[in-house]
Structure 1
C-alpha cells in the first residue's frame, strides 16, 4: 500500500475526485456541472411492473446517490449510506445488532455515542462493555459468546487516544466480529480505515468532512455486500436519511 514510516501515503487526486467523481453533466437536461437538487418525493415508473431505481424519495434520491457514491470513492469503500446526522449513522450501525447481543466499545468515546449505548441500547436488549481497546492483548478476555461488534473512534473524542486499527481488525476477524470505527476527527483525507481492515466506517459529515458548519449529516461506509444490504434496509425503512435538498 505504499507505506512510508508506518503511514499510508496521502490519496492521489483527492481534490479531483471531490470535484469530478459522479458529477459529469447530465446530457438529458441542461448539462449542469453540479448535481441538481431533486425534491420530488415520488418518481414515475417507465412501465408497469418494470424495474425502477427510483420510486420514492425515502427509498432512493438521485441527489443523495451522487453524494453517497462520492463519499464511498473518497473512503475507498464499495458503498456509502447517508443519514440525517452523525448519531443517526451511529444508531444505524447499532441497529445491526439484535436483542441479546453484546458489543465492546472503547472506554473513551463521544458523549452522544456513550449515551446511546448506555441509555438507549439496553432498552432493546443490547449490552456494552467499555474497555481499553488500545490494549490488544486484553481484548479477548472481554469477548463473550454473544459479542458481535467492536466499536471505537480513531482518534477518540475527547482525549485523542490512538487505536491500532490493523491490530483491532485482526482481533475482530479472528473472533468473527464486526469492527466499526468512527473516523470523524481525521476524515477520509487523513485516514481510510477500510484500507486497514475495518468493516464499517462512520463519519459525522457535520464536522470536518463538510467543513462549513451548515450541514447536519452522517455516513456509514462499507465494502461488505451483506452489511450494505442490511444497512440499506435500515436506512430506507427505519431511519430518516436526511433531506434530499442537502
Structure 2
C-alpha cells in the first residue's frame, strides 16, 4: 500500500455497530464486564480506549512499525522512554535538541542517577567515542530543533546495535511523511503529535512507535501505570489530522523551499538554517533518508541586536508569534526566550543557538503572502 493511501486508511475500520466511517469518540472511563475478568478487551480507559487503539494502530502503520502507543504529550512519551532505564545508566543525546527534552533530562532524571552525555551526533564518530558499558540509550533529533542539523540514522543505528543500546529518534520535525526512522534501524520513534501529526494546533499529544514486542510491553506497562494518556477527543482529532498529513506536508515542503531561498537572498539576513540547501553540511544525508526537506527553518539577521530581533518577531501578521510548530498556520518563534529558554545561555551559545536566532514554522498559506508578511517585518 502506497503512503498516501496508508495515511488515509491506516487504523480505520467502520464502526461495527453502526457502520460509521469515522472512529467514534468513546467518551467513557470504564467498561461493563460480562463477569469478573470477562470483558470485550477493554477494562478501564487509562489502560485501553477504542478511539486511542485506532490511533495507535494508525501511528504504527504510517511509521512502518508494528506497535504504536499514544501519550498525553511529546514530553510524556519521552518520559516513558527514559523510564526504561535504571540509576547508573547513561544516555547519549544530541547537543542541539528541543529545550523541553533537555529540561526533562537535566532537571528530572539526572537526580535519579541517570547520566546524560551531550555530543554532536552529526558526526557518528562522536557517538561511537561516547559509548561506555553503561550506555543504554542513544537519543536523536533529526532534523534538530532549532538549528536543523542532520544525523545519519543508519550510521548511528549501526553503532547502537554493536553496543547493544536502544536508539530512539525524535521524528517530530520530519513527520512520518518525510522520514521513517524504524526503516533506518531505530528501535523507537518518538513524536510530539501536537505538531505535524495533529496539524491544526488544537491538541497536545505524543507517540511512540516500535517493532519489538517485548519493548512494546515494557512501554505499555509504563503508559498504563503512569497514566500519561490522551483523552478520546484528542485521539479523534489526531486521527482526523493524520488523514491530511500527506497533503499538508506537500504544501509545507513547497512553501519551505520558497521561503528558505527568499530569506537567503534577503540583504538583511545573514544566515538561514534549512537542510534543503545543497551546501548544508547534512544535505546529502537528509536527501538520502528524507523524502523532502519540510517547512521548518531558522535564520539570523545581519543586525543581530535585541531590538531588531524583537522588532521582526513582533512585526509579522500571518506568522503568529507563538511556541509550537507543524500547524497549518505559520508561526514565528524566538528559541532563546521561548522553546529553549530552559537551556542555560552558555550552553545555547556553545551549541550555536544565538540570542538572535529566529525560528519559522512555515504553514500552508500562499507563499507570496508569507513573503510579503516577512518583508514588512524585516524591512
TM value normalised by structure 2: 0.60
Matches within 5 A, 1:132-143: 132-143=120-131
Q: Deviations over 1:46-98 (max 9, x none)?
A: 33343652100011000000000011000000001010011111111111111
Matches within 5 A, 1:88-237: 88-237=76-225
- What CA distance in whole angstroms lies between the structure 1 residues aligned with 2:98 and 2:11? 32
Contact persistence 1:194–1:201 (CA under 8 A): yes
The answer to whether structure 1 residue 15 and structure 2 residue 4 are counterparts is yes
TM value normalised by structure 1: 0.91
Contact persistence 2:32–2:39 (CA under 8 A): no
- What CA distance in whole angstroms lies between the structure 2 residues aligned with 1:21 and 1:135? 36
Q: Higher RCO, 1 or 2 (CA under 8 Å, sep at least 6)?
A: 1
- What CA distance in whole angstroms lies between the structure 2 residues aligned with 1:49 and 1:83? 26
- Runs of at least 5 residues in structure 2 that lack an aligned partner in the other structure: 235-379
Against the structure 1 CA distance between its residues 49 and 82, is the aligned structure 2 distance closer, same or farther, given a 3 Å change threshold?
closer
- Runs of at least 5 residues in structure 1 that lack an aligned partner in the other structure: 1-11
Q: Which residue of 2 aligns with 1:240?
A: 228
Which 4+ stretches in 1 moved above 4 angstroms?
none
Contact persistence 2:119–2:126 (CA under 8 A): no
Other structure's SS at 1:130 match: strand
Greater mean alpha carbon deviation, residues 97-106 or residues 46-55: 46-55
- What CA distance in whole angstroms lies between the structure 2 residues aligned with 1:52 and 1:32? 20
- What CA distance in whole angstroms lies between the structure 1 residues aligned with 2:140 and 2:153? 9
Q: Which residue of 2 aligns with 1:47?
A: 35
Other structure's SS at 2:77 match: helix
Q: Which residue of 1 aligns with 2:324?
A: none
Contact persistence 1:92–1:234 (CA under 8 A): yes
Contact persistence 1:108–1:157 (CA under 8 A): yes
Q: How many corresponding residue pairs?
A: 234
Q: Which residue of 2 aligns with 1:6?
A: none
Q: Which residue of 2 aligns with 1:3?
A: none
- What CA distance in whole angstroms lies between the structure 2 residues aligned with 1:83 and 1:146? 28
- What CA distance in whole angstroms lies between the structure 1 residues aligned with 2:154 and 2:8? 31
Deviation at 1:21, TM superposition (A): 2.6
- What CA distance in whole angstroms lies between the structure 2 residues aligned with 1:48 and 1:105? 46
Rg larger in structure = 2
Q: Deviations over 1:165-220 (max 9, x none)?
A: 00000000000000000000010010000000000100111111111000110000
Other structure's SS at 1:168 match: helix
- What CA distance in whole angstroms lies between the structure 2 residues aligned with 1:57 and 1:213? 25
Contact persistence 1:156–1:162 (CA under 8 A): yes
Deviation at 1:245, TM superposition (A): 2.1
Deviation at 1:240, TM superposition (A): 1.5
Deviation at 1:18, TM superposition (A): 2.7
Contact persistence 1:57–1:244 (CA under 8 A): no
